[in-house]
Every structure is written in structure tokens, then in C-alpha cells.
Amino acid sequence: MPDEASAGDYAAMIEDLRGFLDRLSSARPSPEAVRCLREALTGWSAELDRSQVPEHDRVFGRLAGLPGRGQTMSPRLEIVETGPDGSRGTVRFGRYHLGRNGAAHGGSIPLVFDEILGQVARVNGRSLARTAYLRVDYRSITPIDRDLEISARLVSVTGRKYVVAGELRDGPVLCAEAEALFVELRPGRP
Ligand SMILES: CCCCCCCC/C=C\CCCCCCCC(=O)SCCNC(=O)CCNC(=O)[C@H](O)C(C)(C)COP(=O)(O)OP(=O)(O)OC[C@H]1O[C@@H](n2cnc3c(N)ncnc32)[C@H](O)[C@@H]1OP(=O)(O)O
């Protein structure tokens, strides 16, 4: 893990990256801008090739406590309250997550549910649990570019099985709800 100071820089860089992806996805850059961007990306890929590490040493997605735990794969999730019975927070789908006609892409919604429901299983579990199933019901379109409320609650624990349910709301509007089963890994299982 990086030290505190560089973790702050890393977190800010991840926020910049989110902003960049939002701008990129809603831009029509000029051919010249595309060429320049490509050149910059190629340069940075070569630089990053020099600091590749094994999974265990990665920073991306491992900064617990940061919004989205320092990754850009799923929409930005900020947990406000967490406990053994559940958790709640806010999530913001950016322009990068646009599906069509102002609605978030249907695949980006399970990503964020897996995150928040998985954290509830993790808080309750004795060891790592994996998602066995994740069911999402889309009740209403999920708007991008504003903070939405998201919550998760522990439904049941049966042996190694944790059932967790969740809701995504835009004020009074229920956008989507989910149910997932997380199964604690047997000892020695990767
Ligand atoms: C240093 C790090 C710091 C990090 C800091 C950051 C903080 C991080 C915090 C938070 C992270 C966010 C959280 C994210 C979470 C994401 C998690 C994922 O997305 S995991 C990837 C996707 N999932 C897979 O790849 C699983 C693939 N499947 C499997 O591996 C197995 O199938 C597994 C483990 C799910 C079950 O396998 P078995 O062999 O252990 O168990 P069996 O015997 O098959 O099942 C156990 C029971 O579960 C039921 N079961 C299993 N699968 C089921 C299903 N699909 N539907 C219904 N029941 C099922 C079975 O019927 C059985 O039930 P009966 O005990 O008989 O009552």
C-alpha cells in the first residue's frame, strides 16, 4: 500500500481519471486532439509498463475507505454508514456510464450492487465470500450525473451462505433492486 501522502495523490488521480473518462465519453474531439491523446496514452502505457506488480501489491481498488475504494471500474460509490445489518451510501453514475437516452447502462448497475452487497457479506463473514448469484430488477431508469441513494441489508445467514438485498433510489423513485448470494470460500480455496 502507498504511504498516507501518496495515497492522497493516488486517490485524487483516480478522481481525475473518472472525470477524464466522463469528458472523453461525451466529447467529439478533433482529429488532432485524438492524435495527441493517443500519443500521451502510449507514453503513459510505456511508463506504467515499468511498474507492473502482482495482484497482491496492486493499489487500484485496494484503498478501503475511499469512495469507490480507489478504482474506476464501477460507478463512484461512497458508503455513508455501514454495520452488520447493512449499509447505505450514495452512488453517482457518470457520463461514462451512459447507456442510452439519459439512462445508465444496465451493466453498470450490477457492478455497483456487487460492491455494496459484497461489503455487507464481508463485514459479516469470517473469510472471503464470492458472489454465487446477483439478480437485478430494473424498476425505473437510473439517471446519470447526480447522486443517488443506495442501500444494502443482510437478509439471511445460513452456514456459509449470505443473502443480501439492495435498493437504488433517485429520491422517491426506486430505480433498481437486487438480491445476491455470497458463499464463504472453503478453507484453502483460492
Ligand atoms: C488487501 C485487500 C484490501 C482490500 C480493501 C478494499 C475493501 C474491499 C471491500 C469489499 C470489496 C467489495 C466486495 C466485492 C465483492 C465481489 C465479489 C465477487 O464479485 S466474486 C467474483 C464473482 N463470483 C465468482 O467468481 C464465484 C464463482 N463461483 C464459485 O467460486 C463457487 O461456485 C462458489 C464459491 C460461489 C460456491 O462454491 P463452493 O464449492 O464453495 O460451494 P457449493 O457447495 O457449490 O455451494 C455452497 C452452497 O451455496 C449454494 N449455491 C452455490 N451457488 C449457488 C447459486 N448460484 N444459486 C443458489 N445457490 C447456490 C449451494 O447450493 C450450496 O447450498 P447448500 O449448502 O447445499 O444449502
User: Comparing 20 with 189, which gets the higher pLDDT?
Assistant: 20
Going from the C-alpha of 172 to that of each of 20, 58, 113, 144, the distances in angstroms are: 31, 39, 19, 16
Position 165 confidence tier, pLDDT thresholds 50, 70, 90: very high
Domain extents for the chain? 4-56, 74-184
Under CATH, which number does the domain 74-184 receive? 3.10.129.10
Taking only the tens place, the pLDDT of each residue in 122-154 is 998 888 999 999 999 999 999 999 999 999 999
The pLDDT assigned to 188 comes to: 80
Cα-Cα-Cα-Cα dihedral sign, residues 49, 54, 57, 61: positive
CB of 123 closer than 8 Å to CB of 106: no
- The preferred substitution site among 123, 183, 189 for testing ligand 1, maximizing ligand atoms within 8 Å of CB, is 183
Show Cβ contacts of residue 16 under 8 Å, excluding neighbours closer than 6 positions. none
How far is Cα 177 from Cα 139, in angstroms, rounded to an integer? 7
User: Cα(131) to centroid of ligand 1, in Å?
Assistant: 4
How far is Cα 12 from Cα 20, in angstroms, rounded to an integer? 12
Q: Which atom of ligand 1 is nearest to the CA of 130?
A: 20
pTM for this entry: 0.93
The pLDDT assigned to 153 comes to: 98
pLDDT at 6 over 80: no
The pLDDT assigned to 127 comes to: 85
Pocket of ligand 1 (CB under 6 A): 62, 64, 69, 114-115, 118-119, 122, 130-133, 159, 161, 181, 183, 185-186
